[in-house]
Structure 1
Amino acid sequence: MKKEFIRPMIILILVQFLVMVGFGIVIPILPFLIEELGGGAFSLGLFMSAYSIMQFFFAPFWGRLSDRIGRRPVLLIGLSGYGITFFLFGLAGNLPLLIAFRALSGMVSSATLPTAMAYMADITEGADRSKSMGMLGAAMGLGMVFGPALGGWLGDYSFTLPFYFAGTLALLVLPFAWKFLPETLKEPNKEPKKKVRLNFSVIRDPLFPLFVFSFVLSFTMAMFETTFTLFAAERVGFGPKEMGMVFMIIGIVGVIVQGMLIGKVVKRFGDAKPAKFGALLCAFAFLWMLWAPNAVLLVLGTMVFMTGNSLMTPTSSSLVTKNNHNHQGASLGVFQSFGSLGRIIGPLIGGGIYELSMNTPYIIGIVTLVLCVIIFGARIQDKKAEESGFSV
C-alpha cells in the first residue's frame, strides 16, 4: 500500500470502530431505558430491528451514491449524521421518538460501511485488500468489545449518558476525516443502466452467491447473539458477568483473526477457500455447542464459531470488490443489505424458535451454513476484477 494512503486507512478503521461502539454501547442499558419509557419486550425487538431495516434499504443507495459523487462526501455525511442521531437518542423523551431516531441512525450509518469498504478497495490490491478488509472487521470487533463495556459503566450514572458519549466520539473524529480522507474515486460512474438495484433481478447477478453468503453470515450470527445468553444460562448456569466475559473473549478472537491472521491466510489460499471453510467451521461450532458438556468446552465452541465468522467476513466482501471493480460501492451496498436482512430475520427466527426448543436455532444454523456451501460454493471462486468481466 502507498504511504499516502496509510493515514486515510487509519481514519477508516477508526470510523468503523466508532460505529460499532455506538451499536454495542446501548446493549446493556437498552432494556432498562425502554422499560423506563413504558415499553416491553416487543418494543425492545422493534428498536433493534429498526436499525437493520433501515440499513437494508439505504445501504445500496449510499453505495450507488459513492460510485457517482465519490467516497469522501458519503463517508462524511454518514459520520456526521451518525453522531447527531446519538444526541437525539439522549433527548428522546418517549418511546416512539426513540425508535424513530434509531431508524434514522440506521439510515445514515449505512453510509459508512459499504463506502469505507469501497474506499479501501480503491487504495488496495490483492492480498492487501483482504488484509485491509480484515482490519476493518477487526475494528468493528473491537467496537463490539468496548461498546457494551462502556455502555454498562456509563449507564450506572445515567441511561442517556452513553448516547451522548458515543455521539461526541463520532463528531470528534469528523474534523480528522474531513482533513485526512482524500477522494479516491478517479472517474465517477454515471451509467444509470448499470446500477445495482435491490429487487428480484439480483438473483441473476454473478455476485448473488456472495450476497447469499452475506445473508447467511449475518443470519447465523444474529441467531447466536439472540439466543446464546439464554442457552448458556440453561446449559451451564452463566449469568450476566460470565456472559460479559464470553462476548469479550469472542470479540478478541475476532480481532486477532481479522486483524492479524487473515492477510497471511489469504496470501496462501486466496479469498474463496477461507470464506467457504469459515462457513463450515461455523456449522461445526454450532454442533460443538450442542454437544458441549461443561462451561469450558461451551466457551471454546463460541471461539471456534467466531473464528469461522471472522474468516467469512473480510474474504467474502473482498471477493465482491475483486469481481466487480466498476461499481464497487453499489455492489458492496447490496452486499451489506443482504447482511442487514440477516440481522432482521435472524433474531426473529432465533428467538421465536428458541421458545419451542433451545437446540433448534443451532440446528437451523448448521443446515443453513452447510446448504449455502453445497449450493453456492462452486460458484464462489477467486477471480481478478480485470479478468472477470462482471458488470452489474
Structure 2
Amino acid sequence: MSENGKLSNGDTDVSLDLGHPRDPNGNASDRSIGVVAKSSAGFNTLLAATFVVFLGYGTVLPILPLFLDRVLAVTIPGDVSLHTGLLTGVYTLALFGFAPLWGSLSDRLGRRPVLLWGLAGFALAMLGFSLTRNLPLAYGVRALAGAFAAAVIPVALAQAAECDDATRRARRFAWLSAASTLGFLSGPMLSGWLASIPMVMPQSEMLLGGPVAWPFVVTAGLAGAVWLLLYHHVREQSAHRPPADEPAGEPASPRAIGGFLTLTLLAMLGLGAFEVGLSLQARQSIGLDPFRVGLLFTECSLVMLAVQLLWSAYPPKRLSPGHLIGGAFLLMAGGILGLPYASGFWEAFVVVGLLGAGSGLLIPLLAYQVSLASGPAQGAALGKQTALASLGQAVGSAGAGMLFVGSALGTYWGLAVVLFVTAIVTFVVHYHPRVIALVKHAPRQD
C-alpha cells in the first residue's frame, strides 16, 4: 500500500477509498454503466435473485434428512447422515467449480443472459429434486442446482458493481450480502412451516411425494417469479464496452485480487469451522438443548445481517479498508478463541456475536475490494471469490468436524492464531509503506 492509500501493484494502483471518484475535470462522478444502476427495480431484482438462491440452500438443509427417509427410502440412520452430508457437499462442490466459469462467461456475453440461465436452471433443478425418487438422480439434480446457483451469486455482484460511484457500489455489495444472509436465515423457517402443510392442506399428501417435497416446489416457484422480474427489469444485452472516444476502465490488479481472494478463503475457513465447532461445543460441552443451539445460530445470522445493513446505510469513510479488514479478523479470532471457554448460554451468546460481527463485515467488504481491483473483468474475479468462499467454508466445516474430536482446544487455538496473524499482517501491510516513508523523510541527527 502506498502513501496515498492505494494498493500498489507496480504498474497499477487500486484505490481502496470509499469516497466518490472524480472525473478528469475534477467533478464528482456519478455515471452508471450497467442497466441496474439506472433503475431501482433492476437492483431490487438482483436482491431478489440473491435472496432466493440462498433461501433455497437454507430451505434444503433442515428438510434433507426427512426427504431422504420418507421419499428416497433411505432408512438406516447412518446412511441418512452420510447422504445428507454428501448431498450438501455436492452442491458446494458444484458452486466451487462453476462460479469462475459463469463469471468469465458474463464478462464476454453480458450479465443478463447468464443471470437468466442461472435462475432458470436453479428453478428447474429445485423442482426436479422434488420429483426425484432415487438416490443417484438426487445427487445429479443437487449438483445441477449448485452449478446454476453459481451463475447467480457472482454475476449479481458483477452487475451491481457496474457503477462509477464507489460509495454506491459499497452499499450495493452490503445490500446483496444482507439479502444472502436473510435468505439463508429465512430458509429453515420456511421449510419448517411447509413441512407442517398437511395441517393446513391435507390433500397435499397426494402431491409430489408429500409435504417434505413442498419446500423445493415453493423455492422453484419463487425462483421462477424472480426470473420474470429479471427478464422485464434488466435489459442489458451484452457486457459493457466503452466507446472508442471514452477512456477504458481501470486495469485489473492481479496482486491485489490474489491478496483479497486469500483473505476470503481464510475468512470463510474460519466461519465454516466455527459453525461446526459451535454445534459440537454447545451440545457436548455446554449441554445446550437443540432449541438454544438454534438460537445461537439465529443470533449469528442476525448479527451478520445487522452489520451488513449498517454498512450499507453508513459506509465508513474515516476508517480505511485495512483497518476494517484487520479489525474484523480480530473479532473472528476473539469469537473462536472464546468458544471453548464458554460455560453457559450467555457466554456462548457473546462469542457468537463477535464472530457474527466480524464475518458479517468481511463478506461484503472483501467482495467490494475484489471488485475494485478487478477492473473490467468483474465477473471472472467475483466468480473466483465465490468459488474460494465455498471451498473455504467446506474445508473449514469438514476439518473442524474431524479435528475437534481429537483435540478440540488445540484446534480452537490454532484457528484463532491463524486469524489473529492474518489481522496483524493486514495492519502491517497497511502501515508499512507509510512507516518507511516517514523514516526516509525524518530529519537526521548529526
TM-score by length of 1: 0.88
1:76 to 89, 93, 116: 116
Per the TM alignment, residue 77 of structure 1 is displaced from its structure 2 partner at its CA by 0.9
What residue number does 1:160 align with? 213
d(CA) in 1 for partners of 2:401, 2:336: 16
**SS at structure 1 position matched to 2:240:** coil
What residue number does 1:258 align with? 308
Identity of aligned residues (%): 29
Extract unaligned runs of 5+ from structure 2.
Answer: 1-29, 198-210, 243-251, 432-446
Matched, 1:356 2:390: no
Q: Work out whether residues 273 and 399 of structure 2, in 8 Å CA contact, stay in contact via their aligned partners in 1.
A: yes
d(CA) in 2 for partners of 1:270, 1:82: 38
1:52 to 57, 81, 92: 92
What residue number does 2:51 align with? 17
What residue number does 2:420 align with? 370
Q: How does 1:190-229 map to 2 (within 5 A)?
A: 205-229=255-279
- Residues 257 and 59 of structure 1, relative CA distance in 2, 3 Å threshold: same
Q: How does 1:264-283 map to 2 (within 5 A)?
A: 264-283=314-333
Extract unaligned runs of 5+ from structure 1.
Answer: 189-195, 197-201, 382-392
**SS at structure 2 position matched to 1:100:** helix
Per the TM alignment, residue 332 of structure 1 is displaced from its structure 2 partner at its CA by 0.8
- Residues 40 and 363 of structure 1, relative CA distance in 2, 3 Å threshold: farther
d(CA) in 1 for partners of 2:127, 2:97: 23
d(CA) in 1 for partners of 2:91, 2:414: 24
The more displaced of 227-236 and 67-76 is: 227-236
Bigger helix fraction: 1
* Deviating 4+ runs (over 6 angstroms): none
Q: Work out whether residues 51 and 183 of structure 2, in 8 Å CA contact, stay in contact via their aligned partners in 1.
A: yes
- Residues 356 and 40 of structure 1, relative CA distance in 2, 3 Å threshold: farther
Matched, 1:171 2:221: no
- Residues 375 and 271 of structure 1, relative CA distance in 2, 3 Å threshold: closer
Aligned length: 370
Q: Work out whether residues 281 and 340 of structure 2, in 8 Å CA contact, stay in contact via their aligned partners in 1.
A: no
Matched, 1:289 2:339: yes
Matched, 1:114 2:154: yes
Q: Work out whether residues 209 and 380 of structure 1, in 8 Å CA contact, stay in contact via their aligned partners in 2.
A: no
The more displaced of 135-144 and 236-245 is: 236-245
Letter in 2 for 1:10: N
**SS at structure 2 position matched to 1:266:** coil
d(CA) in 1 for partners of 2:164, 2:141: 35
Q: Deviations over 1:144-184 (max 9, x none)?
A: 21101111221234211111111111111111110111328
Per the TM alignment, residue 263 of structure 1 is displaced from its structure 2 partner at its CA by 4.9
RMSD across aligned C-alpha pairs, in angstroms? 2.4
TM-score by length of 2: 0.78
d(CA) in 1 for partners of 2:427, 2:91: 30
What residue number does 1:191 align with? none
d(CA) in 1 for partners of 2:425, 2:318: 25
Per the TM alignment, residue 72 of structure 1 is displaced from its structure 2 partner at its CA by 0.8
Per the TM alignment, residue 205 of structure 1 is displaced from its structure 2 partner at its CA by 4.2
Q: Work out whether residues 299 and 352 of structure 2, in 8 Å CA contact, stay in contact via their aligned partners in 1.
A: no
What residue number does 1:242 align with? 292
**SS at structure 1 position matched to 2:362:** helix
d(CA) in 1 for partners of 2:427, 2:146: 31
Per the TM alignment, residue 234 of structure 1 is displaced from its structure 2 partner at its CA by 2.1
**SS at structure 2 position matched to 1:326:** coil
Q: Deviations over 1:201-231 (max 9, x none)?
A: x9x7441111111111211111222232221
d(CA) in 2 for partners of 1:360, 1:53: 28
**SS at structure 1 position matched to 2:374:** coil
Matched, 1:186 2:235: no
